[in-house]
Chain A
Amino acid sequence: VDKALKQLHPQKFFTKIRSKLTGDFLFKNLAAIVAASAVVILLITGYVLTTGSVPVVQKLGANFFFGNAWNPVEGRELFGALPYLMGTLVTSGIALLIGVPLSLGIAVFLVEMAPRTLRVPISYLVELLAAVPSVIYGLWGLFIFRYWILDYIEKPLSTYLGWIPIFSGTPFGLDIFTAGVILAIMIIPTVASISKEVISAVPNSIREGAYSIGATKWEVIRHWVISYGRSGIFGAVILGLGRAVGETMAVSMLIGNATGPAAMPTSLFRPSQTMASLIANGFLEATGSLEVAAYIGVGLILLLMSLAINVGAGILVHRVLKVKGGAVE
């Protein structure tokens, strides 16, 4: 058709081509720019954090990564990021340990067991939890929740099991454990609602097949449903972990904000600090050039860690778990 048009009405043909071209051209490039901006922003962030942290790495070398001192006093500057790296890992680990089983329970209940009348309102409420700003979790934790944790969990544990190193110390409610529990509550909506979608995407034929060979409800869920959707559930857990690692406000209100060697997370009932809360606490009033560089360096470690978690998770999903045909990722 175009060929005929070209010969009969060359003018019309070229206007048509041009309008098609400009429209497509514009759209294609706009889309490319928007897509590229994500990459560019990441690269710029990485560049700024790297150049900004050069002074502290030059001055302190490996001690910046593996040391545990944090002394911003002028003339005695010494910075080590290890305690905050550990603090981040430990609090996020607690969050996953508590949050993931709860989230899975919620997801399984909603999809497999809840009556239709309960299903919609409960899943709506769970998703609503995700909309609560983290500072609200922090305030609630600071004024109410930490006293519950202190009176009903920490005090009994430290009285009767205080000889175990991780329960040692005098508990007062502002510590790694409280921060971890609040993080667990904060990741539940993310993990639960994605797991719910994953589980409801498991084809009914799988369930029917399992029931037909005599499996109980527990066995169906345990061996077929969860196993079928495991890569999707794993993805949900990683999203939750991402939120836990980067959470700042609620953590800094509850973790006790220790610095230096005291921040090393040796016991659940001691104050510590995560990388995010350290930066939020100290960066604004940082004065010395080395101190500023140290905070930027911690930011760089945090960025690298988040990237490593995401990349590692991607590799795990594809290589180790071996995606089953039709499973939701």
Chain B
Amino acid sequence: MENMNSKYTIIIAIVAIAIIISSVAAYVFLSKPPTTSSASINLQGAGATFPYPFLNAIITKYSTDVKPNVLVNYQSIGSGGGIAALKQPTPTVDFAASDAPLSATDTANIPNALHIPETIGAVTIAYNLPGVTSGLHLTGKVIADIFQGTITEWNDPAIQNLNPDTMLPAQTINTVHRSDGSGTTFIFTGYLSASSTSWNTAVGQGKSVSWPVGTGSSGNTGVASSVNGIQYSIGYVELAYILENGMTVAAVQNLAGNWIQPSLESTQLAVQSGASSGLPAGDASWTNVSLLNAPDANAYPIVSFTYLLSYKELNEIPGMTQDKATALVQFLWYVVHDGQDLAPGLSYAKLPSNVVQIDEATIRSITFNGQQLPTT
């Protein structure tokens, strides 16, 4: 009897699953708009998770309002995965996104790679100090010493001297860092390397590094939750996350000596003044490009580009056609122009005009079989 019952249960379960699957399939197939059936062009992209919400908003708007026949599919599998997907001999994507510029070894595998700065990342120093609810003053050197474990107490003279009017507790500092490899860590450790020679020699810059002390948490959310949950802790979090969720962050001293709170404005100022001293051409090496410690008096110091990457000559990508190449160029053009208007609403900083001009030159230089492509 029991056997019979369980048999019926299994049969009912299978039938139920089959019904669910077929109804989902029917919904997917029937609800597909007819415009995308025949002449649609598919662009594949992959890469960094940081710009994903921004890119996704642009892609959705582009496919609904601008070019309904162009479908852009962006997979946020991480910068490393995106770069790997763009590599010769078999690139599987049409463009990649990365928080860090290509390294020398990557450049060898992506001949004539183009860097197109698409939005800006800023890293904030978030802390949890009962009683100190805003604007703790920190310098790059002190931050490096904290994360290196040479400053261990909140009332260390090095911190107290920067904050003469604040009562700092005699408590051990707990540092929180990203446990997953990330562009945020790349920017942050780059800043620490630039600020402290001892950090530069002992640890250095990378998407993940050998942290001398502290707890690791996954993602901006993980770090934020650890900082919020553990008193007397300090961590670094992407600006967009802070603006959306609200956390206590430090004012960091910039090159001009001012204490700057991270914001979209101070980030944009940093890019504008950092880029004014000159950026490489789109197809040159960007390995050493840095927006850290920009000269403007009100620039936030821990800022970096995130990039879209593609080929200068699109016939390097298998399966590329004239139509597809045109669609890709026009999409890239849209990202650095109209797409930028979506940035502030999503807590990303807009590209300043001098960077947009450099991007324009880069996108115009893209060819397919040696022929230039129309940008609009």
Q: Which residues of A come within 8 Å of B, CB atoms?
A: 69-76, 142-143, 146-147, 170, 172-174, 252-253, 256-260, 262, 271, 273, 281-282, 284-289
A residues less than 8 Å from B205 (CB atoms):
73
Q: Do B180 and A287 touch across chains, with their CB atoms under 8 A apart?
A: no
Further 12 A-B residue pairs, CB within 8 A, beyond A72-B210, A257-B179, A281-B179: A73-B205, A73-B209, A172-B215, A252-B179, A258-B215, A259-B210, A260-B210, A271-B216, A281-B181, A281-B218, A282-B180, A285-B79
Contact bitstring B19-33, A, C-beta under 8 A = 1, else 0? 000000000000000
CB distance from A317 to the nearest CB of B (A): 30
Most B CB contacts (10 A, CB to CB) among A69, A70, A143, A257 go to: A257
Q: Which residues 202-222 in B have Cβ within 8 Å of A in the complex?
A: 203-218, 222
A residues less than 8 Å from B233 (CB atoms):
172
B residues less than 8 Å from A70 (CB atoms):
210
Q: Do B207 and A262 touch across chains, with their CB atoms under 8 A apart?
A: no
Q: Do B180 and A284 touch across chains, with their CB atoms under 8 A apart?
A: yes
Does B354 reach chain A (CB closer than 8 Å)?
no
CB distance from B215 to the nearest CB of A (A): 4
Does B281 reach chain A (CB closer than 8 Å)?
no
Known contacts A73-B203, A174-B226, A285-B207, A259 near B216 by CB under 8 Å? yes
CB distance from B243 to the nearest CB of A (A): 23
Q: Which residues of B come within 8 Å of A, CB atoms?
A: 77-81, 83, 103, 105-106, 172, 174, 179-182, 203-218, 222, 225-226, 229-230, 233
Known contacts A172-B215, A257-B215, A262-B211, A76 near B80 by CB under 8 Å? no
- In the bound assembly, the distance between CA atoms of A194 and B179 in angstroms comes to 36
Q: Please give me the residue from chain A that is nearest to B185 by CB atom.
A: A285
Q: Do B206 and A170 touch across chains, with their CB atoms under 8 A apart?
A: no
CB distance from B194 to the nearest CB of A (A): 15
A residues less than 8 Å from B206 (CB atoms):
72-74
> What would 8 A/B residue contacts be, using CB atoms closer than 8 Å?
A72-B208, A170-B172, A174-B230, A256-B216, A258-B216, A271-B214, A287-B80, A288-B105
The one of B80, B174, B181, B213 that contacts A172, using a Cβ cutoff of 8 Å: B174
- In the bound assembly, the distance between CA atoms of A262 and B216 in angstroms comes to 11
- In the bound assembly, the distance between CA atoms of A71 and B208 in angstroms comes to 8
- In the bound assembly, the distance between CA atoms of A170 and B83 in angstroms comes to 40
B residues less than 8 Å from A257 (CB atoms):
179, 215-218
- In the bound assembly, the distance between CA atoms of A285 and B79 in angstroms comes to 6
Q: Do B216 and A285 touch across chains, with their CB atoms under 8 A apart?
A: no
CB distance from B304 to the nearest CB of A (A): 15
CB distance from B193 to the nearest CB of A (A): 9
Q: Please give me the residue from chain B that is nearest to A147 by CB atom.
A: B229
- In the bound assembly, the distance between CA atoms of A289 and B174 in angstroms comes to 33
Q: Do B174 and A170 touch across chains, with their CB atoms under 8 A apart?
A: yes
Q: Do B174 and A285 touch across chains, with their CB atoms under 8 A apart?
A: no
Q: Do B181 and A282 touch across chains, with their CB atoms under 8 A apart?
A: yes
Known contacts A72-B209, A74-B206, A281 near B172 by CB under 8 Å? no
CB distance from B96 to the nearest CB of A (A): 12
CB distance from A56 to the nearest CB of B (A): 16
B residues less than 8 Å from A76 (CB atoms):
204
Known contacts A74-B206, A172-B230, A253-B222, A262 near B213 by CB under 8 Å? yes
Known contacts A170-B172, A284-B180, A71 near B209 by CB under 8 Å? yes
Q: Do A142 and B216 touch across chains, with their CB atoms under 8 A apart?
A: no
B residues less than 8 Å from A252 (CB atoms):
179, 218
Known contacts A284-B180, A285-B180, A73 near B216 by CB under 8 Å? no
The one of A69, A74, A285 that contacts B181, using a Cβ cutoff of 8 Å: A285
Q: Do A284 and B203 touch across chains, with their CB atoms under 8 A apart?
A: no
A residues less than 8 Å from B179 (CB atoms):
252, 257, 259, 281-282
CB distance from A245 to the nearest CB of B (A): 20
The one of A75, A173, A258, A287 that contacts B211, using a Cβ cutoff of 8 Å: A258
B residues less than 8 Å from A262 (CB atoms):
211-214
B residues less than 8 Å from A72 (CB atoms):
181, 206-210
